[in-house]
């Protein structure tokens, strides 16, 4: 599909500078764009590219002030990155929707299926499953007994949803994710062996949750592991039994949260963060990548390091650490001088 600069500006409530009739049929990064493509400038680090890109149309923030001539047509918007997200959503919605139930899918007779759903080849839908309208279940998915899936939810190929789990409306679960596997519960025995503790709870994903590829969320020992509304989890994340993740928290890849920990709302957690079990992390907390937490964190804190502590203190300490050799050498010199003075 093709869109003109004027059509794009009208859709985004933006303002065109240049040829409003120029058309684009694809979206590209500003440094790789070719004629016929739309790009955007949101990060000032990429500003030099706007003067040499071949993109036909570029989205920029309203406050952008060019230092040289720009050959592309500019569309000024309040926030270029958000505007791009709107265009991508519009483009996706314009694509034909998949519908229908494949004859190669296995669907239990008593499953309750909403309108306009899609169940692909070799998907398995067990007894008493509820699937909301316009939900999409891609090939090789397993949907266990008594699972509930909300409206407009997309479950991509190879996802496994174990028995009794609940998935809300407008969720997205990417390939290879496992929702509701057993929590890691084993009781030590006198013979140095371990006895498995039955995990009888479930997982609840509230509305507008996105789960990345190969992420795993364990069912609760009792009760529920809960991922609240608006949470976004990246690929390769482990969420253990009875964890609760608060609304609109985002977590980057390869992070892990141990059992029964609670993460507040609107938190931002970097990649490869490890969170110990049974601790509470407050709201609005920011945790830098590769941090390790063994104790709770108050609301609004920014922390980093392993073990993690206050961001500003970490930076100051790290400066001293990098100069440790010089500091030790200076201490040695001072000790020698002190010995010479005291004769000891």
Q: In what order do the strands lie in the sheet with 262-263?
A: 112-113, 130-131, 148-149, 166-167, 202-205, 224-227, 244-245, 262-263, 280-281
Annotated active-site residue 241? The verdict is yes
For residues 210 and 227, the answer to whether their CB atoms sit within 8 Å is no
- List 241, 278, 311, 320, catalytic entry: 241
Partners of 88 in the β-ladder: none
Give the integer Cα–Cα distance in Å for 266 and 249: 4
Give the three-state DSSP class for 268: strand
Backbone angles phi, psi at 80, to 5 degrees: -65, -35
Relative to beta strand 262-263, strand 244-245 is: parallel
Burial 145-178 (b: 16+ CB within 10 A, else e): ebbbbbbbbbbbbbbbbbbbbbbbbbbbbbbbbb
The Cα 169–Cα 278 span in angstroms is 29
Q: Is 243 exposed, middle or buried (0-12, 13-18, 19+ CB in 10 A)?
A: buried
Six-digit token string for 245: 């993740």
Secondary structure class of 309 (helix, strand, coil): strand
The set of catalytic residues is: 241
């Amino acid at each position: 599909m093709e869109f003109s600069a004027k059509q794009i500006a009208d859709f985004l409530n933006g303002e065109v500078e240049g040829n409003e009739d120029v058309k684009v049929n694809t979206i590209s990064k500003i440094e790789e764009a070719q004629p016929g493509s739309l790009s955007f400038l949101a990060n000032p680090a990429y500003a030099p590219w706007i003067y040499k890109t071949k993109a036909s149309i570029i989205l920029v923030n309203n406050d952008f002030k060019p230092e040289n001539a720009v050959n592309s047509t500019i569309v000024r918007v309040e926030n270029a990155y958000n505007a791009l997200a709107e265009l991508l959503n519009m483009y996706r919605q314009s694509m034909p929707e998949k519908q229908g139930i494949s004859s190669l899918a296995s669907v239990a007779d008593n499953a309750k299926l909403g309108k306009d759903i899609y169940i692909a080849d070799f998907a398995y839908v067990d007894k008493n499953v509820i699937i909301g309208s316009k939900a999409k279940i891609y090939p090789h998915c397993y949907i266990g007994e008594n699972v509930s899936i909300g409206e407009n939810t997309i479950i991509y190929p190879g996802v496994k949803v174990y028995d009794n789990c609940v998935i809300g409306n407008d969720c997205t679960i990417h390939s290879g994710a496992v929702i509701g596997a057993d929590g890691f519960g084993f009781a030590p025995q006198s013979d140095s062996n371990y006895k498995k503790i039955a995990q009888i709870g479930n997982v609840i994903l509230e509305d507008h949750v996105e789960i990345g590829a190969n992420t795993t969320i364990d069912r609760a020992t009792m009760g529920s592991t809960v991922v609240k509304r608006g949470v976004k989890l990246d690929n390769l994340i482990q969420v253990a039994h009875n964890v609760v993740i608060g609304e609109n928290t985002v977590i980057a890849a390869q992070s892990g949260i141990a059992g029964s920990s609670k993460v507040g709302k609107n938190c931002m957690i970097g990649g490869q963060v490890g969170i110990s079990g049974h601790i509470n992390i407050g709201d609005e907390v920011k945790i830098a990548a590769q941090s390790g937490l063994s104790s709770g964190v108050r609301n609004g804190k920014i922390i980093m390091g392993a073990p993690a502590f206050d961001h500003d203190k970490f930076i100051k300490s790290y400066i001293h650490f990098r100069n440790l050799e010089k500091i030790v050498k200076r201490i040695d010199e001072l000790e020698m001088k002190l010995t010479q003075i005291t004769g000891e």
